[in-house]
Each structure stands twice: as C-alpha cells, then as structure tokens.
Structure 1
Amino acid sequence: MSDDEPGLLDVADELYALPLGEFTPARDARAKALKGTDLAAPVKALRKPSTAAWVVNLLVRREAAQVEQVLAVGAALREAQQGMSGAELRELTRQRRQLTAAVTTRARALAREEGLRVTEAVADQVEATLTAAMVSEDCGRAVRSGLLVAALATTGVDDVDVAAAVATPDALGFAARPTTAAEPARPDLRVVPDEDADEKARAAAQERLEETEAELAEATEAHDEATAQVEQLKARQLQIESEIDELKRKIAALEETYDEVDDDLGDAEDAVGEAAEALEEATSARDAAAAVLDNLSS
C-alpha cells in the first residue's frame, strides 16, 4: 500500500461515520472495491456497530469538544478521588451522573436529527459507555476513536475487554475525525403540477399512521409493564405490612410474657430471701442443740 492509499483506520473512520443503516452495504462495497489488496479482508471483517455504539460514535464526531471535556473531567476526577472520604466519593458519583446524563441527552438529540429514535434502553447503554470513559482511561481511548462496535460498562475496578469493543485493536489511540450534519438540499421552487399528489399524500399519511401506531404500541407495552410492576410492588408492600403487624403482635405478647416472668422472678427472689433466713435460724437452733448435748455428755 502506497502512502497515498488509505489504511484500515482511515477506511473504518469513513464507514463508522455513516448512518447506521448504510454501514453494511457501504462496507461490503468498499471491500469489493479493495478486492485483491491486503485491505479487502480486514474491511470486510469490520463489524456493524450496535445502536448504542453508533450513537456514541456520532456524538464523538459531532461534539468532539464536548466529548474531550467529558474525558478531561473524568481524568481529573480519577486523580481527585484518591484519599476521598465516603461522603465525598458519593458526591463525586452524583456529579459524574449529572454530566453523563446531560451529554446522553445531547447524543439522543443528534441521533434524532439523523432519523434514529433512541429508546431508554439504548440511552442507558450510551450513558454507561460515557461513564466508563470517565472511570477508565482505556475506555476513554475507545470512545475517542469513534470506532466503537459495542457499548462499554465498568465500575472502575473490573477488567474490561476494550479491544473487543472497537472495530480493530489499532483503534485505541486513534481519534475520530469531526464531522458536521449534512446541509439539507435546497428545494426546487418551480411550481410543477403533480398528478399523483393525492395518492402521495395518502401514502404519506398511511406511513405516518403506521409509525404512530407502532409508537403507540410501544408506549402501551411500556405502560403495561410499569403498571404491572406497580401492582407487584403494592402487593409486596401489603405483604410486608402484614408481616410487620404479625411481628408487632409477637413483640407485644413477648413483652407481656416478660412482665409476667419479671413478676415471678421477684416473687422467687423474695422466697429465696425468706428461705435463707429460715435456713440461718435452723442452723443456729441445731448448733445450740448440739452444744447442749455436748455439755450433758461431758
């Protein structure tokens, strides 16, 4: 390969900057064009990114400065947390969550501009990836590459196979090239009669109806799941309340028994005192009788 020919990272950088739906056909076409070269097989082997990984890659390219700020803050926090108290670490975690949540919101907006609706599940993976980038330097390098194929997650103490989460191990240390959103094409303002306008309008309306019905079904499913969870929690709450009441009854019964035993203990202690006095008197009487007997026998 000559110096003018692109390397694998250059090709990957172009492919992973494409809309998610265009990745596979563009990769296959590029591999076919490279047939007979050393790059053909590696390009063909490039994996399609998961939705969450694609959203993070998009964020890295569109908001490079913001991502670099997140990584810089992560590095500063990693250094600052040495020697922190538990309360300070909890506050640090809270601040980190606020930052990753805000950046995730921006990432979802960028994806929406590209025509991709990001679900809550995918958003959670995006936020987990950003958190991993702040917690782990290696994860930060993977995110900066813009060549993620899978979401990342780490607590900071576990080992993460970062190389498996990027398109190629060489991506670690690579920085994605920033891109901008494509300018919308200027419409042709000539007035041209469209004989199929009504049919197109009906088709567009039908398509929109199907989209909204799908969104409604998804929202209904989410609502039903949330409602079911609420009912389960309510049932569990009632069960716990019942168990608490039963424990209270048992405690009350035990307290009553304790009082009875305490009274009996007092009576028993009094009886011991009285018995001790009687024992002492009996011992004295016996000793006196024994002395009299000794005098009579001598």
Structure 2
Amino acid sequence: MAEPDRAALLEVADELYGLALPEFTPARDARARELKKPDPELSAAVKALRKPSVAAWVVNLLVRREAEQVGQVLDVGAALREAQANLAGDELRALTRQRRQLTAAVTARARAVAAENGQKVTPAVADQVEATLTAAILDAECARAVRSGLLVTSLASTGVDAVDLGSAVAVPEALGFAATPREDGSAPRPELHVVPDPEADRKAREAARRRVEQAEAALESAREALTAAAARVEELEARGLQVQGELDELRRRLAELEEEADEVDEELEEAEDARTEAETAVTEATRERDAAAAAEARAAEKEG
C-alpha cells in the first residue's frame, strides 16, 4: 500500500489534536470518511490516529493556547541542559529552582485552560501534565514532542536514559513539527444574527458567572495540589531526619564494633602466643617423661 502524503497528514493531525477531547473521535472518523474516495491512503492514516489521553490532550491544548508560557518552559530546559553539560553549579541550581516554579505555574494554568474548555483535571492528571513538562525540560527530544502538540500519551524522563517517543506522538513526523497556536479552543463560527440579542446582557452575566465558577474550581484544585505537595514535603523531611538519625546510630555502632574487633585481635594474638608456649612446654615434658621411663626400664633390666 502506498504511503500517505505526510504533510497532509500532519495538517489534519494538527487540526484534530487541537479539538476538544470529546470531539476528537467523531471529527477524526468524519475526516477519514471524507478522504476515503479522493485519497484512501491518507484516509487510512487519519483513521489510525489515536485519541490522546487526558494529560496529553491538556498539554496539546496548552501548547496551542499558551504558546508563550510553554516556550518559556522549553527555553529554561535548553538552558538547564547546557548548564548541566558545562557543569555550571550556581547557574544549574538557579535554573533548577526556576524549572520547578515554571512547571508548577504552567501546570496550574493548564488546569485552568482545560476547565475553560469543559475538561476537569484530576490531581493524577495534573501530575502527568507536570511530569510531561519536566520531561520536556530534561530531554531535548521530549521538548520536540511537546512542541508538536501531537502527543497521545504523557511523558516521563530522568534526563539520563533516552525516552522512546514512537508511541507517545501521533505520527513520527511530529518530532519536527510545531503546533499551530490558537486564540481559543473553538473553531470560528459565522454570525447568525444581524440585530442585537436582547438577552445579551443576561447571557454575558451568566457566562461571566460560569467563568468565575470555573476559575474558583481551578483555584480550589490548585490549593488542593499545594496542600498535598506541602504535606508530602513535610513527610519526606520527617523521614529524612529519621533516616539520618538511623545512619548516625549505625555509624556509632560500627565504630564500637571496629574498636571491639581491634581488641579481639590483640587478645587473639596473646592467646595464640600462650598456646604456642603451652605446646612447647607439653613437648618438653613429654620428652622428659619418655627419658625417665626409659631410664626406669633400663634400671629394672639390670636389677632383674
């Protein structure tokens, strides 16, 4: 079977992965049907595009809606990797702090943007989003995957081992692609009314109220995440103190055992010397006894 037009596939993918999550599958299938007769290869490739996970969709949305913030994250990542390569300690520490602040802030913004588009982001999904942004900072190839806006799964990287991105992006060409920025998450719609809407003020108030509710929900989620993160920090700090105390006790006990081992070695050496002396005494006493016994035997013979 012939290969599809990769540029055309990227164009369709860019459009589909920028849609609201519930719209992805019906829109993908509709495009595949639309292309089936004029371009069956492209139709099959479009049909094979996988629906993104919630975390991947949130990152794809963020790349299109908050391109400047995502660009800052990726720029910090490039600077951080350069500082690591050059072993610039002070700069590395400063960039690491900036990385944590940025990823936390951008993740919070991602939750708000997702809420604006009707998608609630759970703490678990938020963790995956933050892990994906962190991977983009630590790994240049992950950064390219994020920039494409064509993720189908979240990413994770330690910055040491290479990440297999083949199953993480919609198409292999995604790693050289940059998502098209968008002002909002909806497609342009034609104007249906040419006269003012008498309900405009009420609708505007309701829309504003909904935005406030969404923002409050996003704020509450961010506060929950902060509380959980602070509790985790306290837990790990307490555990760290406990482990350090255990290490100190083990070091003290090890020093005592080493000192005791030295004393045992000295006593063992003295005991071995005493044993050697005793063995010599036994040998000499045995020789003297044997000589006395022989003399006694000779005397007995003479007497007999």
Same fold (TM over 0.5): yes
Structure 1 counterpart of 2:175: 172
Q: Does 1:68 align with 2:71?
A: yes
Distance 1:124 1:190 in 2: 41
Segments of 5+ residues of structure 2 without an aligned counterpart are 201-216, 261-304
Shift of 1:89: 4.6
Distance 2:73 2:155 in 1: 15
Counterpart of 1:55 (choices 34, 55, 58) is: 58
Determine if contact 1:28/1:44 at 8 Å carries over to the other structure. Answer: yes
Structure 2 counterpart of 1:12: 13
Structure 2 counterpart of 1:139: 142
Structure 2 counterpart of 1:210: none
Structure 2 counterpart of 1:128: 131
Report the 3-state secondary structure (helix = DSSP H, G, I; strand = E; otherwise coil) of the residue aligned with 1:99: helix
Shift of 1:154: 0.2
Determine if contact 2:73/2:99 at 8 Å carries over to the other structure. Answer: no
**CA 1:16–1:91: 2 relative to 1, 3 Å:** same
Distance 1:146 1:73 in 2: 19
Structure 2 counterpart of 1:21: 22
**CA 1:190–1:172: 2 relative to 1, 3 Å:** closer
Shift of 1:90: 5.0
Which amino acid in 2 is paired with 1:80? Answer: A
Counterpart of 1:96 (choices 83, 95, 99) is: 99
**CA 1:171–1:6: 2 relative to 1, 3 Å:** closer
Shift of 1:22: 0.6
Distance 2:86 2:120 in 1: 42
Determine if contact 2:135/2:156 at 8 Å carries over to the other structure. Answer: yes
CA RMSD of aligned residues (A): 3.9
Q: Does 1:153 align with 2:162?
A: no
Shift of 1:161: 0.8
Shift of 1:176: 0.6
Deviations 1:275-295 (A, max 9, x none): xxxxxxxxxxxxxxxxxxxxx
TM-score, structure 2 as length reference: 0.59
Determine if contact 2:52/2:152 at 8 Å carries over to the other structure. Answer: yes
Distance 1:141 1:89 in 2: 22
Counterpart of 2:198 (choices 183, 189, 206) is: 189
Report the 3-state secondary structure (helix = DSSP H, G, I; strand = E; otherwise coil) of the residue aligned with 1:7: helix
Determine if contact 1:163/1:172 at 8 Å carries over to the other structure. Answer: no
Which amino acid in 1 is paired with 2:36? Answer: K
Shift of 1:118: 0.6
Identity %: 65
Shift of 1:190: 6.0
Distance 2:102 2:119 in 1: 23
TM-score, structure 1 as length reference: 0.60
Which amino acid in 1 is paired with 2:20? Answer: P
Distance 2:83 2:134 in 1: 16
Distance 1:157 1:190 in 2: 58
Distance 2:7 2:86 in 1: 47
Which amino acid in 1 is paired with 2:198? Answer: L
Q: Does 1:40 align with 2:24?
A: no
